[in-house]
Amino acid sequence: MNKVEIIEKAYQLAKEQYAALGVDTDAALEKLNEVIISLHCWQTDDVGGFEKPDAELGCGGIQVTGNYPGKASTIQEMRQDLDKVLSLLPGKQRLNLHAIYGEFGGKLIDRDQIEPEHFQGWIDWAKERGMGLDFNPTCFSHPKADDGFTLSSKNEEIRKFWVEHVKKCRAIAAEMGKQLGVPCVDNIWIPDGSKDVPVDRNGHRELLKKSLDEIFETEYPREYLKDSVESKLFGIGAESMTVGSHDFYLGYAVKNNKLICLDTGHFHPTEQVGDKISSCLLFVDEVLLHISRPVRWDSDHVTTLNEEIQLIASEIIRNDFLSRLNIGLDFFDGSINRIGAYVTGTRAVQQAFLIALLEPTGMLKGFEERGKNFERLAFMELLKSKPFGAVWDYYCLKNNVPVGEDYIAEIQQYEVDVLSHRQ
């Protein structure tokens, strides 16, 4: 048998095993096409951006480690990398941009001056590929963020500057959604917080609320723009208090009909983001996910197929929540091949959704409702050894992307041909 025949044969056998449990694998693969993941552009260059050469992250509660060669340092290189990534992923993706990734033509355009024109190149790029775009204000890596406060700053000049930046970002995001015919999610995350125990927590939170109210004064059609707010537990340099905590933003989102962004690295390590989805969706219309892999803390490791991701995917699929979830990634590892990081991480998330789609949920729920919890447990364990990998391989084959380990060789080749020639 040749390679293709083996994949097809393995799929047929897997299909029969799942059918015995009442699961239709063809239908699962059909549904998997609806899982659209937004690729975070910042994995290509360690959140550098193109504002000025050698931009540094600065303090602001996020950190990239590693200096693996081959990082993209121009928009052309970044687009080349993203095209490579897209060619290795089955299904459809979106692209998630940060405000520092505009085409500023070598000029210093400060954050409060950015306009849709600086992102027209990206809009055209996305249109050519039939992709949607998402967007983020960049409220870090800037002298006006150096004292640790942006939208919640007590310095009125600084606060106004960041309000203006975020307003500009919403206008850009709305333009992206308008031109592409699919809403753009604009997600606000700020690093504001305090290293040591503060006295006035409330003062900063009142200011953040005031800034957000000012930012959201302008209304845009929901077909163009969806506004989202992202909470965090703590950051490096902001260990004692984060202004935009989960309580703060969940309250704000519920009251103001915004999306809440749940980043898997932004909670206490024993909390599960998968558990939060059904609660949030009772009170907000939609959720944005920033899927990452925290290791001991918000370390933004490349996502792998772990229980956390699995629970997230299962909760979404079991409850038919896909249309209310915006699935984004948010990891950045500069210590390994960056294209490899993307593809491995994105495929892991896609696989988690596939496993969720291959679950005989009705049967498990039936056990649960009849108090048959041994049977529920036993079947959930059994499902772990069912041949989902054969179904996944078949999906890759049908999508004309490398199957199994073949994508690794492609990335190694790209490293030789392209990445190793970069400065």
Residues lying near ligand RNT in the complex (CB under 6 A)? 42, 47, 61-62, 136, 189, 230, 232, 263, 290, 298, 330
Q: Please, what is the minimum distance in Å from the beta carbon of residue 237 to ligand RNT? A: 12
Please report the sign of the dihedral spanned by the C-alpha atoms of residue 70, residue 76, residue 82, residue 83.
Answer: negative
50 binds, among ligand RNT, Zn ion, none (CB under 5 to 8 A by kind): none
266 in catalytic set: yes
Q: Which two tokens stand for residue 353?
A: 């959704």
Nearer to ligand RNT, 193 or 402 (CB): 193
159 CB-contact burial (10 Å; exposed 0-12 / middle 13-18 / buried 19+): buried
Q: Please, what is the minimum distance in Å from the beta carbon of residue 107 to Zn ion? A: 29
330 in catalytic set: yes
30 in catalytic set: no
Residues of this chain that interact with Zn ion (CB under 5 A) are 263, 290, 330
Q: How many residues does the chain have?
A: 423
Q: In the complex, which residue's CB is closest to ligand RNT?
A: 189
Q: Please, what is the minimum distance in Å from the beta carbon of residue 62 to ligand RNT? A: 5
Nearer to ligand RNT, 51 or 330 (CB): 330
Q: Please, what is the minimum distance in Å from the beta carbon of residue 211 to ligand RNT? A: 17
Helix (H, G, I), strand (E, B) or coil at 364: helix
Nearer to Zn ion, 47 or 88 (CB): 47
232 in catalytic set: yes
List the catalytic residue out of 42, 122, 189, 392.
Answer: 189
Q: Please, what is the minimum distance in Å from the beta carbon of residue 327 to Zn ion? A: 13
Q: Please, what is the minimum distance in Å from the beta carbon of residue 40 to Zn ion? A: 8
Q: What are phi and psi of 263, to 5 degrees?
A: -95, 130
298 in catalytic set: yes
232 binds, among Zn ion, ligand RNT, none (CB under 5 to 8 A by kind): ligand RNT
Q: Which of 82-94 are b and which e, b meaning 16 or more Cβ less than 10 Å from the residue's Cβ?
A: bebbbebbbbbbb
Nearer to Zn ion, 308 or 330 (CB): 330
Distance CA 227, CA 219 (A): 10
Given a contact cutoff of 8 angstroms between Cβ atoms, the answer to whether 186 and 173 are in contact is yes
List the catalytic residue out of 98, 258, 266, 276.
Answer: 266
415 binds, among Zn ion, ligand RNT, none (CB under 5 to 8 A by kind): none
Distance CA 94, CA 63 (A): 24
List the catalytic residue out of 45, 230, 286, 393.
Answer: 230
Crossing angle (nearest 10°) for helices 3-20 and 388-398 = 130
Q: Which two tokens stand for residue 173?
A: 């995001």
9 in catalytic set: no
List the catalytic residue out of 168, 232, 258, 301.
Answer: 232
List the catalytic residue out of 204, 290, 301, 386.
Answer: 290
Q: In the chain, what's the furthest Cα-to-Cα distance? A: 71
Nearer to ligand RNT, 47 or 85 (CB): 47
230 in catalytic set: yes
136 binds, among ligand RNT, Zn ion, none (CB under 5 to 8 A by kind): ligand RNT
DSSP class per residue in 99-156? GGGS--TTS---GGG--GGGGHHHHHHHHHTT--EEEE---SSSGGGTTS-STT-SSH
List the catalytic residue out of 45, 227, 298, 415.
Answer: 298
81 in catalytic set: no
Distance CA 326, CA 295 (A): 24
List the catalytic residue out of 175, 330, 359, 415.
Answer: 330
Q: Please, what is the minimum distance in Å from the beta carbon of residue 246 to ligand RNT? A: 13
Nearer to ligand RNT, 35 or 289 (CB): 289
77 in catalytic set: no
Radius of gyration of the chain (CA): 22
The two beta strands, 297-301 and 293-295, are antiparallel
Distance CA 26, CA 373 (A): 29
Instruction: Give me the active site residues, please.
Output: 189, 230, 232, 263, 266, 290, 298, 300, 330
